[in-house]
């Protein structure tokens, strides 16, 4: 729908960009960057909120562009064999599409920009150690996955409760990255 609307809107300029990252063992990696093994830092800005430093953004003009980026990123994801799944995803991933719309006001003639963000999130599955018999690196991965899923559950519970004074967004990289999508005026 995004690309349909942008192609028929007269007098409105659109910019559609996408990024794709994974959270592997609480570290952020750019699945579309030049060095997919490099870890990126999270920074919190007063105006922009939580941002991933040096995350690559790619302009998209069609659904095909988005699919191509997603396919490329999927090939770079961390996977590993467990007893439950030979190609088990060992990371969470977030494919983000940002749409910026620039319109000229009929009242004052100034250009106004509105932006929207869509996060497509693939959560790594929670696996019980007793079923997978994970050891070493796979056990460490599973522990990190389970801790971040638990943190996400805690954030959602605190938001649903409505009485919580503190929402524990800082308990995991996943919840920090999704903070603007889970709280505020976001639709989940």
pLDDT averaged over consecutive 10-residue blocks of the chain (188 residues)?
Answer: 68 92 96 96 90 97 96 86 55 96 86 93 76 67 89 95 90 96 77
How far, CA to CA in Å, does 53 sit from each of 17, 40, 41, 167? 16, 6, 6, 24
Domains and CATH numbers, the chain: 1-128 (3.40.850.10)
pLDDT value at residue 84: 46
Pick from 113, 118, 117: nearest CA to 12 = 113
pLDDT value at residue 188: 65
Pick from 30, 46, 26: nearest CA to 38 = 30
pTM for this predicted structure: 0.86
Read off φ and ψ for residue 145, nearest 5 degrees.
Answer: -60, -50
Q: Which stretches within 29-128 are classed as H helix?
A: 63-75
SS3 153: helix
Pick from 21, 97, 33: nearest CA to 60 = 97
b/e 103-138 (16+ beta carbons within 10 angstroms → b): eeeeeeeeeeeeeeeebeeebbeebeeeebebeeeb
- The answer to whether the CB of 36 falls within 8 A of the CB of 49 is no
pLDDT value at residue 28: 98
Could you give the CA distance from residue 72 to residue 93 in angstroms, rounded to a whole number? 13
Tokens of 159: 């938001």
- Residue carrying the six token digits 């079923």: 131
Question: Which own/partner pairs from 46-49 qualify as long-range (CB within 8 Å, at least 24 positions apart)?
Answer: 49/179, 49/180
pLDDT value at residue 38: 96
């Amino acid at each position: 729908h995004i690309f349909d609307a942008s192609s028929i809107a007269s007098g409105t300029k659109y910019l559609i960009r996408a990024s794709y990252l994974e959270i592997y063992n609480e570290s952020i990696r750019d699945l579309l960057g030049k060095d997919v093994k490099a870890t990126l830092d999270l920074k919190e800005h007063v105006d922009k909120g939580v941002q991933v430093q040096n995350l690559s953004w790619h302009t998209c003009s069609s659904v095909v562009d988005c699919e191509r980026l997603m396919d490329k990123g999927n090939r770079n994801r961390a996977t590993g064999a467990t007893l439950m799944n030979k190609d088990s995803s060992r990371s969470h991933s977030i494919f983000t599409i940002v749409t910026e719309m620039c319109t000229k006001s009929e009242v004052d003639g100034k250009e106004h920009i509105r932006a929207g963000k869509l996060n497509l999130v693939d959560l790594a599955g929670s696996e019980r150690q007793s079923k997978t018999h994970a050891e070493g690196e796979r056990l460490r991965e599973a522990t990190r996955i389970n801790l971040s899923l638990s943190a996400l559950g805690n954030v959602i519970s605190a938001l649903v409760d409505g009485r919580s004074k503190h929402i524990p967004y800082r308990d995991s990289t996943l919840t920090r990255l999704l903070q603007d999508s889970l709280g505020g005026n976001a639709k989940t």
